[in-house]
Every structure is written in structure tokens, then in C-alpha cells.
Amino acid sequence: MGTFEKVKEVIADVMKIPVDGISMETRFVDDLKADSMDQFFLVDGFCEKFDINIDDESARTIRTVGDAVKAIDDLLA
């Protein structure tokens, strides 16, 4: 399973939404209405799912699903 599919699973779980509505262009705040706690749980979920650590500075740059996928892939590289 690729990074995008795993990211979608975390988002669907945290935001309680179906995975089929999530694309690389989906914006966490504007499209999914994620508040600061949702964003915290999303980043935490990504860290747990991929066994990585996303620092606060990097987390602030993640605005879309694509941003999350790129940040995770960069950390795994």
C-alpha cells in the first residue's frame, strides 16, 4: 500500500469521513473543516502509521493531502 492510501486511511479515521472523497488536492482546513485539534490528531496519526516524527515546523506547512504525502515520503527517504 502506498503513502497516499495510508494517508487517506488516517484522514478517514480522524475526520470520520469516507476515503473516496479524499484527493491529493484536498485541503485540511478549507475542504475537511479540520480545526487545530483535528490537525494535531492527523499529524499524530501520520507519525504513528509511518513510524516517523513530524516536527511542529514541518507540520505547519502541511495544508493539503499532497503536502502530507510529500512530507512523509521525504522523511521516509
pLDDT on residue 6: 98
pLDDT on residue 1: 85
Domain locations along the chain:
3-76
- Quick check: pTM over 0.75? yes
The DSSP H or E segment spanning 68 is helix 65-76
3-76: in CATH 1.10.1200.10: yes
Grid cell listed for 18:
469516507
7-53: per-residue pLDDT in tens? Answer: 999 999 999 999 999 999 999 999 999 999 999 999 999 999 999 99
Which sign, positive or negative, has the C-alpha torsion 68, 10, 50, 48? positive
